[in-house]
Amino acid sequence: MTQPIDLQAFDLFEFCRSSGSAAGEIAARELPRIIAETSAEAPASAPDEVFRYTMSGSAHDEAAEPGKPARRRLFLDLAVQGGMWLNCQRCLAVYAEPISTATRFEVVASEAEADAAPMDDDEIDVIAGSRRFDLLALIEDEILLSLPVAPKHEVCPAVHESLVTGADGSVEPEPEDEQEEKRPSPFAALASLKTKH
């Protein structure tokens, strides 16, 4: 069932054991690392824009090995949707990058146990739980991990003038000295051969 939670201090173990679920919205201004990554050219409304999250907990009992007690594993499924204002690295203009993440976490008792967990399962991330768990920090981590390495429009509205090269308006670099200026082009001979045919 859906239950109210304190986003910065809720019992993640109990949430998973009781198969809890929750959903809500978080304004960008509540996520300082997101604000730090937001373009300086973003609209004034950017801090008020929201990220929507849904999450559910679950517990699964694994069959015990002979002579050992059954093991209960706790899981958290978290999805986040929203958008961030970033600078396109191709045209340098600000644009809205859509955010959509969905991650399954296994919740373990301590940081040491999380660090010791095998890394061979690409489908599940392991995190240390807490009775005062900070969901805001986890959501912020998930948003930052989803950002592209090189943000850019799918199709840029225009090309920034600093990226224009060659015959379409850029200035060719000046030769370093007069000797370089007098040096013949290595392709001049090829060009003359081509014109003779």
Q: Residue 110: what pLDDT?
A: 86
Q: Residue 35: what pLDDT?
A: 95
* pLDDT band at residue 157 using 50, 70 and 90 as cut-offs: confident
pLDDT per position as a tens digit, 67-88: 777 788 999 999 999 999 999 9
- Residue 77 CB-density burial (10 A; 0-12 exposed, 13-18 middle, 19+ buried): middle
Angstrom distance (rounded) from CA 9 to CA 151: 33
Q: Of 51, 50, 33, 42, nearest to 144 (Cα)?
A: 33
* pLDDT band at residue 161 using 50, 70 and 90 as cut-offs: low
For residue 2, pLDDT beyond 60: no
Angstrom distance (rounded) from CA 189 to CA 179: 19
Q: Which amino acid is at 53?
A: Y
For residue 166, pLDDT beyond 50: no
Token couple for 145: 């991990």
Q: Residue 96: what pLDDT?
A: 93
Q: Residue 169: what pLDDT?
A: 43
Q: Of 3, 15, 5, nearest to 130 (Cα)?
A: 15
pTM for the predicted model, two decimal places: 0.74
Which residue shows structure tokens 């001049």?
Answer: 188
Q: Of 114, 89, 76, 99, nearest to 145 (Cα)?
A: 99
